[in-house]
Amino acid sequence: MMNDPIVEIRNIKKSYQRGSYVIPVLQDINLDIKNGEFMALMGPSGSGKSTLLNLIAGIDKADSGTIRIEDTEITTMSETELALWRASHVGFIFQFYNLIPVLTAYENVELPLHVTSLPRRAWRTHVEMALRIVNLTHRADHYPNQLSGGEQQRVAIARALVTDPTILVADEPTGDLDRTSAEEILDLLERLNAESKMTIIMVTHDPRAAGKAHIISHLDKGILYNADTQAAP
Amino acid sequence: MAIPFSYSFRNLWTRRLTTILTASGMALVVFVFAAVLMFADGFQKTLVDTGSYDNVIVSRKGSGAEMQSYVLYSDASLIESYPEIAVGVNGTKLLTKESVVLINLLKKDSKKSSNIIIRGITENSLALRPQLTIVAGRMARPGTNEVIVGNGIANQFQNCEINNVLHFAVRDWVVVGIFDAGNTGFSSEIWGDVHQVMPAFRRMVYSSLTFRLQDAGTFVALKARIESDPRLTLEAKREVKYYQEQSEDMAKFVRILGMTITIIFSLGAIIGAMITMYAAVANRTNEIGTLRAIGFRRRNILAAFLMESLLLGFVGGCIGLIFASFMQNLTVSTFMSFQSFSTLAFKFQLSAKIVLESLIFSSLMGLVGGFLPAIRASRMNIVDALRAI
Ligand SMILES: Nc1ncnc2c1ncn2[C@@H]1O[C@H](COP(=O)(O)OP(=O)(O)OP(=O)(O)O)[C@@H](O)[C@H]1O
Ligand SMILES: [Mg+2]
C-alpha cells in the first residue's frame, strides 16, 4: 500500500489559446507519485509547473489524458464533484499565503470545514489540532495583517491540513519569505511528511527548498524529465 | 456548506467609508420612500380617526366628498324619525344635520390663501364627536354669529384667534373659542351654528346627517333601509369608512407620485451599489480563487456577494429610517382632496409596517445592485482568479 502511487498521471496534454494561436504548455506528461512522497517540481519560469500542479489539485482541466488520485479519476469529474473532492482531498499552500484578510487565523483555518461533511461539533478539535501542529495556537484570534509572512504561511498550512487531505500542493511556498521564515516553513513541511506521512507536491525555484524533498522532477518547455531520487531519508 | 455570514459582514466593515458613502445614497432614497409613506399614512390616519365606529353618516348617493353632498330638509326629518338612533342626554335624538361650505382664508405668514371648511353645526355635533374639546375660550352659542376654530389652523391663518372677527359670506363672525379635535380632519375646520351658516351662504339643503346608533349592530339593516327607500337618494356609511374613502384618492395619488420618484431615484442608488460591488469583486479576485480552490462552489460565492450587497442595502435602509424618524409627528398641512382642496393638518406617522417596507425596499436595492457583480464573481475561472494579484 505504502508504495502504490497515490497520484497517477497519464498522457496529460494542456495548451492555452491566446488569440489565434495555441501555446502548448504541457506535452504528454506521465508521472507517478507514491503515497507519503515529498516531491519537488522545478523548472524555468513558464515551463508549466503551476499548470501541472493545478491539474493535480483539480482546479484546472487538461485537454487530454487522465489523472487518478487514490484510485479516483478526477479528469472526468464535473465541476461540482471536483469542488467537493478538493474540499476533502487537497490542501492548498500558495506563494502569497492567500489568507482571507477579514477572518482571524482561527476562522481561516476553520474555513475549509464549511465545505466538508464533518459535523460542526468536531470542528474545534480539528482547528485547534491544526494550529498546534504549526505552533500558532496563541495567535488564533489574530487577523492576517497582524501576522508576519512566515506566520501567515503557517496559518495557511494549518488551513491546508485541517481537512486531513490526501495530498498537499504547494506553489512556491517560500517564494515570498525571508531565509529564516522559509527555513521554518520547509522544516514544517518536512516534519509533516516524516511524521504524518503527508504526500506533498511542491513547486519551487529554490534549490535549497527542493533539497528538502525526496524526489525532484524537472519541467522544461512542457516536458517532464525523469525524477532524480535523492538520498533516501 | 456556505461561506460564513461574518465574511460578508466584515468585508463591509473593513471598507466602512465606501460602505457608508454607498449606503448613504441608498439612505436618501429610503428617506424619500419612508417619508412618502409616512405622509400618506398620516394623512389617511387623520381622516380615518375623524370618524367614530358607531356613528353613521348619511349623504347624497355617489356624492364622494361631503362638499358635493346635499340632504333635503324633508329627507332629514324622515331619517331623524328612525327608532334605531340613540337618544342623547338632552332627550333629543343624537343626530346632527350639518352643512359644509368652503371659504378662502389668508395665511398668516405667506399671505397666500387657502380653502377652509366652515361647518354649520347643531347642538348635538359636539356630543357626536367625543374627541373634540374646547381648549381656549368657549363654545359658540346657538343663534349667534359666533364661531370656533380648529387648532390645526388657528395659528396658521389670519384673524383666527379668540375675539378676532372673520369676514365671510357678507357677515362678520366672532371667534369665541379654539377647539382641539385631536388628530382628525375636524381640527382643520371652523364651526358655527348651522342656522346662521346656511342662510349666510344661501344654502337650502344640509350637506350630511350624522347620528349615533343605539346598537352598532343595526347598521347593516338600517343602511339597507335607507338605500332601498325609493323616496331617498341617500347612502349611509359608518363614519370611519366614510372618511377613509375620502382619504383614498389623495393618499393613492401621493403614494403613486412618491413611488414613481423613489423608483427613479433608486436607479441611481442601485448603480452606486453596483459600482461598489464591482470594485469589491475586482479587489478580491484572488480571494475568490482561493475560496473556490478550497472547495466553495460558484453558488456559494454568488450567495456571499449577494449577502454583502443585501447587507449594504440594509445599512442604507437603517440610515434612511433614522432620518425619517426625525419627521415622526411633524405636523404639516395640505389640501385634503381634489374635490374640495380644503386644508387638512396632520402628522407624519412612522409605523412598523413602513419600517419593514423600507428595510425590504433598501435590501432589495442592494440585492439588485449587487446582482451583476456577484454573477461576475461566481463566473470566475479558478486558475485565472488565483493568478490575479
Ligand atoms: N490563462 C492562461 N492563458 C494563456 N496562457 C497561460 C495561461 N496560464 C498560463 N499560461 C502560460 O502557460 C505557460 C506555463 O505557465 P505556468 O504558470 O504553469 O508556468 P510556471 O512554470 O508556473 O512559471 P513560474 O515559475 O513563472 O510560475 C506560460 O507560458 C504561461 O504564460
Ligand atoms: Mg508558477
Distance CA A140, CA A106 (A): 5
What are the pLDDT digits (tens) for B8-47? 999 999 999 999 999 999 999 999 999 999 988 888 888 7
Q: Which amino acid is at B163?
A: N
A88, A114, A159: residue with CB nearest B2 = A114
Calculate ∠ Cα B168-B98-B156, nearest 5°: 45
> Closest Cα to atom 17, ligand 1: which residue?
A50
Chain A residues with CB inside 8 Å of B297's CB?
80, 83
Query: Residue B254: what pLDDT?
Result: 85
What are the pLDDT digits (tens) for A107-146? 999 999 999 999 999 999 999 999 999 999 999 999 999 9
Mutate to test the pocket of ligand 1, among A18, A22, A49 (most ligand atoms within 8 A of CB): A49
How far out from the chain centre does Cα B106 lie? 25
Contact predicate A98/A151, CB 8 Å: no
Q: For residue A106, what are the CA distances in angstroms to A128, B126, B287?
A: 8, 72, 17
Q: For residue B149, what are the CA distances in angstroms to A221, B39, B113, B153?
A: 96, 24, 17, 7
Contact predicate B190/B164, CB 8 Å: no
Instruction: For chain B, give the percent of residues with pLDDT over 90.
Output: 60
Distance CA B346, CA B158 (A): 20
What's the A152 CA to ligand 1 centre distance in angstroms? Answer: 25
**Nearest bound ligand to the CA of residue A52:** 1
Q: What is the mean pLDDT of residues B250-279?
A: 91
Range name among B37-51, B93-107, B305-319 with the lowest pLDDT average: B37-51
Residue found by looking up cell 381622516 in the block: B47
Calculate ∠ Cα B137-B142-B143, nearest 5°: 125
* Structural class in CATH, domain A34-62+71-229: alpha beta
Of B305, B302, B321, B320, nearest to B366 by C-alpha is B305
Query: Residue B247: what pLDDT?
Result: 79
> Closest Cα to atom 16, ligand 1: which residue?
A48
**3-class SS of residue B288:** helix
The answer to whether A194 faces chain B, any CB pair under 8 Å, is no
Domain extent listing, chain A: 34-62+71-229
Q: Do A92 and B7 touch (CB under 8 A)?
A: no
Query: Residue A229: what pLDDT?
Result: 56
Query: Residue B322: what pLDDT?
Result: 95
H helices of chain A, in order, are 49-57, 79-89, 105-110, 123-133, 149-161, 179-196, 207-210
Query: Residue A231: what pLDDT?
Result: 43
A–B: how many Cβ contacts below 8 A? 68
**Cβ of A83 less than 6 Å from ligand 1:** no
**Residues near B277 by Cβ (< 8 Å), separated by ≥ 6?**
B305, B308, B309, B312, B369, B370, B373, B374
Res. B338: pLDDT tops 60: no
Chain B residues with CB inside 8 Å of A87's CB?
294-295
Q: What is the mean pLDDT of residues B297-318?
A: 96
Res. B249: pLDDT tops 90: no
Averaged pLDDT of chain B: 90
Calculate ∠ Cα A131-A135-A138, nearest 5°: 75
Query: Residue B339: what pLDDT?
Result: 55
Q: For residue B250, what are the CA distances in angstroms to A41, B105, B170, B253?
A: 77, 22, 32, 5
Query: Residue B341: what pLDDT?
Result: 60
The answer to whether A111 faces chain B, any CB pair under 8 Å, is yes
What are the pLDDT digits (tens) for B363-384? 999 999 999 999 999 999 999 9
Query: Residue A232: what pLDDT?
Result: 40
Q: Which amino acid is at A135?
A: N
**Cβ of A16 less than 6 Å from ligand 1:** yes
Query: Residue B331: what pLDDT?
Result: 77
Please enumerate residues of B whose Cβ is less than 8 A from a Cβ of A.
1-4, 6-7, 10-11, 13-14, 286-287, 289-298, 382-383, 386, 389
Of B51, B57, B124, nearest to B88 by C-alpha is B124
> Closest Cα to atom 22, ligand 1: which residue?
A50
Query: Residue A124: what pLDDT?
Result: 96
A60, A84, A98: residue with CB nearest B295 = A84
Distance CA A117, CA A164 (A): 13
Q: At what angle do helices A149-161 and A123-133 cross, to 10 degrees?
A: 140
**Residues near A123 by Cβ (< 8 Å), separated by ≥ 6?**
A110, A113
Q: Which amino acid is at A64?
A: S
Grid coordinates of A57: 489539485
Low-confidence residues of chain A: pLDDT under 50: 1, 231-233
What are the pLDDT digits (tens) for B129-159? 888 899 999 999 999 999 999 998 888 899 8
What's the A43 CA to ligand 2 centre distance in angstroms? Answer: 10
